[in-house]
Structure 1
């Protein structure tokens, strides 16, 4: 940290400025101006956002005198030193005003589905920019909200879920933080904006979003504010009305984040499992053991969740509620079926062979990836590494080879191929065609 000039200093790419004499302060900016400091971001991750497309977008808004700021998750990522994958923008311009501006500038607009919610997508220099008008919620039912447009930045921030997601960043790097989101981010705290109960009742999916972001931000696994957990417990049944697809999006992200075992256990402690497709009597102890085994090996979300299921019927019920992909469902069924019966050889515990034999005998194209997830589930760290570098060998004998030797019966060909395949597997897949064919009696 070093002084640049009087009243200004820098720390890790952030420029802090003492505000010496604020004069006229509007209600919208009250929180920002009432503090003694403001902040400007000057990091490389922030500067990298300024492509030709974004510079062109900024010029249009500046020309028409509408404010444009980076919003939500992108601000959180930038303040954490990360370059965001997606950048959303907020503005004081209404959708109609934006359309007029873009049409006047000859800028193409795409995907008009978001217009009724205030979002216009502009395409400049082969980049898409989603820009949303500031909004306030007029009425909510726990799933959807009726909104009105506003020019009040703080009102828009008030309707967002978490303090760390409620910040805006000006294109000059100025941070607009009305609810101490940056402070929470620095302290690794996850809090709802204002009343947790009110935010949850506006959209019950925010319960799972809270868990997801807790796993991304919080340092300790059990550092929740008691009133937050109380609000979640008392409003958990509202998740029953949320679509399975939306729940699965959040659940998948939560399960592969930090503290996943703690958060899944908390879902059971708070009596939420029954509303989100998980078995009411899930095997939490097994899940915690599997998460501990697999967490350092990038397991798929379903690998962790499969530990909760005691039988295939529970997987089927989960699929009906969450509408997971076919690949995800078959992986869960595979793990539930084979987690005990397919395991390493007790006589040779360091051998991968029982698993490679299974893959070779399997008729499923994705058996290799499924067995890899099974090994993660079982905590076989060494075997996981070996399987990742193992390629499925090609069985060198075909039915055509047997016909050339005078075997013409389809049934006999099948039996002979299976016999030769067993011999080949015992050789650790090393026998060549001629050596295998020598086992056939003339």
Structure 2
């Protein structure tokens, strides 16, 4: 498909260095839809001041895949100071300039934000952060990026600039690091997980890794101990929403990543292990993935399969800093994955699950039970439960007070008795029928 929507230019544009990039012309509706009045206004300003402006990174990858990117980042030969002078002179507002020291300025025009970053080279890295210098060399900026498919630029005339065969890799559904995998990983150890995330997104086969890449990952696994749990969880979540999650999670354990991915440096020093258990239940995870993969499971539904005991949820949260919603889902699944299941005498019945939802009376209980059914592989019951609406108990405390029931324990006791009667009727009895059970 990509060959039909992109045509080679008759001539190549010169690169700032000896190697010329592959240049091609993009002519898709997705690309054309980005050329708004706001973008044209910003682009015209850069052109007026003789600075180059191109779309960069993931947005280029998405456009080449036939997708309209959700976020579009731009790169430029202008420095942050030069951008600020341009925008101020044109009366264009700048917002959220916390990234200025890294070369990023965000301009707002026609109700759109445009995040523009000066071309950079890394002068020093520690595996988590980088000290950068600005440059006007597009190839040097491409060299510092993680994967070939993320290292391309796209001119606003549709010209693709590809210095590292990212287009070819994308066509062939291949994920490779730019240059040396060892060097790219040591610049930022989180790139180990980014490799797996993009593998899940791009590659069709579950096990088509280059041996050199896996060796580089294995040799640098300990670097993940210095990465924050929040950043690790962001990458894991995205990977779990792609393909081959079962294979990739198992591979992470095989490569020895788990002990570093789940524990920070201080924990390793004190021989504690927050995060996922080093002896995680891989077989259970693979079973759950096969059960749930066709039903859009939440990432936590898959990840929690590694955990064998309820206490391990707290350990996981201690390292990964998951959200409150994610943690409560994990606690729910670990607690109920064995004791809340279909009735052996009537496997076609939703009764155990609907009763549980009604008895718990929490707004998100139905969502949790749906994730439980995905975990258990109960596709038919899931299809029935999804459109099901929780019936509303028709009696209130006000109704009982009007009948002379005393507030407090007596009222609570009567309400519970009526709930039991309502439940036995399979939630069919209306208010009048239920109130007839109240002794006057």
The TM tier, using the shorter chain, reads over 0.9
Give the equivalent residue in structure 2 for 1:289.
287
Deviation at 1:252, TM superposition (A): 0.6
TM-score (norm 2): 0.94
How many Å separate the matches in 2 of 1:263 and 1:11? 30
Deviation at 1:409, TM superposition (A): 6.2
How many Å separate the matches in 2 of 1:363 and 1:323? 27
Give the equivalent residue in structure 1 for 2:246.
261
Give the equivalent residue in structure 1 for 2:382.
384
TM-score (norm 1): 0.93
- The answer to whether the 8 Å contact 1:261/1:288 transfers is yes
Deviation at 1:307, TM superposition (A): 0.7
User: Unpaired runs of 5+ in structure 1?
Assistant: 2-9
**Which one of the candidate residues 11, 27, 39 is aligned to 1:42?**
27
Q: Does 1:31 align with 2:20?
A: yes
Distance change in 2, residues 1:217/1:29 (3 Å): farther
Counterpart of 1:129 in 2: which secondary structure?
strand
How many Å separate the matches in 2 of 1:63 and 1:416? 78
How many Å separate the matches in 2 of 1:105 and 1:409? 69
State how 1:315-394 maps to structure 2 within 5 Å.
315-394=313-392
- The answer to whether the 8 Å contact 2:127/2:187 transfers is yes
Counterpart of 2:24 in 1: which secondary structure?
strand
Counterpart of 1:130 in 2: which secondary structure?
strand
Deviation at 1:346, TM superposition (A): 1.5
- The answer to whether the 8 Å contact 2:16/2:138 transfers is no
- The answer to whether the 8 Å contact 2:38/2:109 transfers is yes
Give the equivalent residue in structure 1 for 2:9.
17
- The answer to whether the 8 Å contact 1:70/1:89 transfers is yes
Counterpart of 1:336 in 2: which secondary structure?
helix
User: Unpaired runs of 5+ in structure 2?
Assistant: 262-274
**Which one of the candidate residues 217, 227, 242 is aligned to 2:202?**
217
State how 1:24-423 maps to structure 2 within 5 Å.
25-28=14-17, 30-32=19-21, 38-276=23-261, 277-408=275-406, 410-423=408-421
- The answer to whether the 8 Å contact 1:162/1:190 transfers is yes
How many Å separate the matches in 2 of 1:25 and 1:164? 21
How many Å separate the matches in 2 of 1:244 and 1:353? 39
CA deviation digits over 1:361-386, x for unaligned, max 9?
A: 11433111111111111111122222
- The answer to whether the 8 Å contact 2:77/2:135 transfers is yes
Distance change in 2, residues 1:347/1:26 (3 Å): closer
Counterpart of 2:406 in 1: which secondary structure?
coil
Q: Aligned pair count?
A: 427
Deviation at 1:61, TM superposition (A): 0.6
Deviation at 1:278, TM superposition (A): 1.6
- The answer to whether the 8 Å contact 1:29/1:154 transfers is no
